[in-house]
Structure 1
Amino acid sequence: MGGSSRPLSPHLRVHEDRGHTVLEFHGEIDILASLDIIPVLDAATGRPAADVVLDLRHIEFFDCSGLRLLHRARRRVLARGGQVHLVCTHPLTLRILRVTELAGVMPPLASMDEALGHPSTASGLRGR
């Protein structure tokens, strides 16, 4: 974001793809990583009516701190009239999303193409 090509956090890469802001999480997402991620996440989710994709395909570990980050991103985007998509393929992370019922409010998609091409799968609708 902001025209910089270097990542602002080693755990989160932000880029644009087909009109969506993609937040690509990397590595171990725990309480220490979340401290680096929050400022970048907040900057990326602070625009009005943003279409945001949370991409968890590149994570190795994900705990309750990661869940809080997902909830924070969703809340911020929806509050500004945007839409959120979640891409996740890791079986253990999918299980965490199901057990905590976050999968019910942010249904995980299996691919970036699915997230970028199907607005009806978004968590939240514009104007709500």
Structure 2
Amino acid sequence: MTPDADDRACETPAANAHARTRACGRFTVVEVSGEIDLATAESLTEHLDAATARGEPDVLVDLRRVEFFDCSGLRVLCRAAARATERGGRLRLVSDQPRIHRLLMGAGLLGRFPPLPDVPGEGRE
């Protein structure tokens, strides 16, 4: 890949109705909102692909504003976590929603994605 192509792969995608990316200290925070399902998972994928494109990514996926999240969203998270790990980094979830915790537990992913209650270094508003 040429340096220009590398730079384009690492560009932060524009915010959309379901995801936006921001920097927070050493973390890349992907804030997710609304409903994530088969029809909208691609909106999240583009942000997670960009967040995990560089070496040693430290990505936090903030699910606190999610209204609905299904197995399509879980697939996107698992893929992004694998990409982050391959690049020497990590991907973690931020969620204070019991239904997200139940979804992770039911899918057998709670151990892989133990949710943080908030973004480290940010106080609750």
Shorter-chain TM band? 0.7 to 0.9
Structure 2 unaligned blocks of 5 or more: 1-9
Which residue is equivalent to 2:80?
73
Identify if the C-alpha distance between structure 1 residues 3 and 73 changes in structure 2 by more than 3 Å, giving closer, same or farther.
Answer: closer
Deviations 1:52-111 (A, max 9, x none): 111100100011111111111111100100022211111111100111121111211111
CA drift at 1:113? 2.4
TM-score normalised to structure 2 length: 0.81
TM-score normalised to structure 1 length: 0.80
For the pair shown, the structure with the greater C-alpha radius of gyration is 2
User: How many residues are aligned here?
Assistant: 113
Structure 1 unaligned blocks of 5 or more: 117-128
**Misfit runs of 4+, over 3 Å:** 1-4
1:15 paired to 2:22: yes
What is the identity percentage for the equivalent residue pairs of Structure 1 and Structure 2? 41
Instruction: Report the AA paired with residue 111 of structure 2.
Output: G
Partners of 1:87 and 1:35 in 2: how far apart?
20
**What's the C-alpha RMSD, in Å, of the aligned pairs?**
1.9
Q: Which has the higher helix share?
A: 1
Partners of 2:50 and 2:59 in 1: how far apart?
12
